[in-house]
Chain A
Amino acid sequence: MIEVKNVTKKYGNFIAVDNVSFTVNDGEVVGFLGPNGAGKSTTMNMITGFIEPTEGTIEVNGYDILKQPLKAKKKIGYMPEGVPLYNELTVKEFVTFMAELKRVPRKERKEKVAKVLYEVGIEDVANKLIRNLSRGYKQRVSMAGALIGDPEVIILDEPTVGLDPKQITEIRQLIKKLGKKHTVILSSHILSEISQICEKVIIINKGKIIAVDTPANLEKKTESKNVILLTVEDNKNNMEKLNKDIPEILENKFIKNNDDGTKQYMISSNIEFDLRKKLFEILPKKDITIFELKNAEKSLEDAFITLIDTNTREREKEKEEENKKTKETGKEDKNKTEKTIKNEEKKKDKQKKKETTDKEKVGKKIKEETKKQEGGKK
């Protein structure tokens, strides 16, 4: 079990992690999700004792990472970001070294190293120099280093970055398997991955936790509308008048003409109404034949982007309010000339523009990546 209580990490004035608290229970597989620079790695580094939090406490299986570091670290297997390895050692030597570091008894060492090498599927390169391995293999060697010594808690920082689709599915299966015996925390900015492997998702943005929930619940939470995709044959164009017959419809939008003469519409309503039954009743009366009717499902990806967007918008508002306050005090202060205030405003505007474009980029990237992966799986 991992307990993180009110943890803050500051670098000078920059707050990387801001008053974060959460618990991970035994046997849980938890995913850390967030855009780049959200504080995922920093949080993981603090849990593993690589860096110390500025404030707050972290307990791993009851041991405080600052007060009893050696006992706490013994429980943890950590695969850091960027896969750091000793290039001049062979795979077997490296894993044996990690076993020695983790105080695996001499008698069991050989056996355990062999077992881990088998588990992550790197037996065939066991005697190769790590320097000569491909990225995917290096990733697995790093994972072997984390798994050796049967730690109760396994922390993986972006375990699937840089792997090909086949390797990704293999690693995911391995993580799922690990989740049966161990507590696993992993970070990722790939959403489909988290929703597949994890039972719980922690979403972080700019150092703050903005949601902790199961993937399914997160999807539900962020839905504000019920959206139905409808394919119909409608020769008399009665669809457009549908709003009169069903007043609950918020939006009735024509999407496209299909080749077979049918048309596709998107109908949305408030979350509390399920229009499917009504549509089935009323449409035939209006001489509309239903070919297909389905709920447009929201993915975790949408949930993530909505959450992050609303969160950053809220923060911007807070900032603006703060700025207003400082401006007011600035007016009272005669020493502060109007010029400097204007300059400040300009700077802020520039920053905002930058931030928004960055966010768009992040969103696009995430979508592209998930698409690529899904394509790979097929």
Chain B
Amino acid sequence: MWAIIKKELKTYFFSPIGYVFIGLFLAMFSIIFYITTISQGAITYQYVFFYSVMYIVVFIIPLLTMRMFSEERKNGTEQLLITSPRSMVAITLGKFIAALLVIIITELFTLVYLAIMYYFKAPAIMTVLTTMFGFLLLSMTYISLGMFISSLTENQIISGISTIAVFVVTWLAPNISTNLIAISLIDKFYPFATGVFPITETISLLSITVMFVLLTMIVMKRRKLVK
């Protein structure tokens, strides 16, 4: 699995994708940071994450996930992976963890903003921690969903755009009917911003992640029969 993680990280950072992802995120994060804290004079770090989750993550996580399996399939490199003595579990998890590592690296960068805030006044540390943890969990869920969609098509653009579409649907669905709140992923993130560790939401997000990782493995295994 380590071999695949290493290779995936290389593809992220030897190509522009990794830098574009982190750059875009930080640029937009800065704007939100300015709007929600500096201009307001507020010491509420969670709001930065709150809005960034809403407006940034939905649109840029597909950058990471759209190529995951689509590119391999299009270039035929999936043949190298599948015919190697590695299980589908290792291949899928390797890819998943690599994308997650990019998110973790990005999140480490955001500590700079926290430091700026500390310069003025220390925010409630518990809230900061739960928010950052929630952000990571939500990103995991998004990655697994994007990865699953990527395993369905060999076209990166289709993969990327349908991922965004699915994210937006889960985001806006509760506005159509409150009955649809169950499929809203972002709604599962809000409780993390309160500073309390929400067990229900954690389990919920984790299980959705596991579900889509498993679904990806199933799709990849099934392709052996259909292809």
The residues of A with any CB-CB pair to B shorter than 8 Å are 11, 45, 48-52, 54, 70-71, 73-74, 76, 78, 80-82, 84-89, 93, 97-98, 100-103, 145
Contact = CB atoms under 8 A, between A and B. Distances in A.
Q: For chain A, what secondary structure do more than half of its interface residues adopt (helix, strand, loop), or is it mixed?
A: loop
B176 interface: no
Interface string B1-28: 0111011001100110000000000000
A48 B81 CA distance: 11
B94 to A, nearest CB: 10
18 contacts: A52-B224, A52-B225, A54-B225, A70-B85, A73-B84, A76-B83, A80-B79, A82-B76, A84-B77, A84-B79, A85-B75, A85-B77, A88-B10, A89-B14, A97-B7, A100-B2, A101-B4, A102-B85
A88 B85 contact: no
A145 B225 CA distance: 25
B80 A145 contact: yes
Interface in B142-196: none
B86 A101 contact: yes
A78 B81 contact: no
B105 interface: no
Contact of A80 (B2, B7, B80, B227): B80
Given A52-B224, A97-B7, A100-B3, A86 B77 contact: yes
Contacts of B15: 88
Given A70-B85, A78-B80, A101-B81, 4 more contacts: A48-B79, A49-B83, A71-B85, A81-B76
A97 B3 contact: yes
A101 B14 contact: no
Nearest to B79: A80
A48 B227 CA distance: 14
A51 B227 contact: yes
Contacts, number: 77
Contacts of A84: 75-80
A101 B224 contact: no
Interface string B200-227: 0000000000000000000000001111
Given A73-B84, A88-B10, A88-B11, A51 B224 contact: yes
A70 B86 contact: yes
Nearest to B7: A97
Place the interface of chain B in its size category.
20 to 34
A137 B78 CA distance: 21
Contacts of B75: 84-87
Nearest to B17: A88
Contacts of A102: 84-85
A91 B57 CA distance: 34
A80 B76 contact: yes
Nearest to B11: A88
Interface in B116-157: none
Nearest to A12: B226
Contacts of A80: 76, 79-80, 83
Nearest to A151: B85
B115 interface: no
Contacts of B6: 97, 100
A86 B224 contact: no
- 6 tightest Cβ-Cβ pairs between the two chains A and B: A84-B76, A100-B3, A74-B85, A101-B84, A80-B79, A48-B83
A51 B77 contact: no
A335 B177 CA distance: 54
Contacts of A52: 224-225
Contacts of B76: 80-82, 84
A76 B86 CA distance: 12
A366 to B, nearest CB: 25
B202 to A, nearest CB: 34
A101 B3 contact: yes
Contacts of A71: 85
Interface string B62-88: 000000000000011111111111110
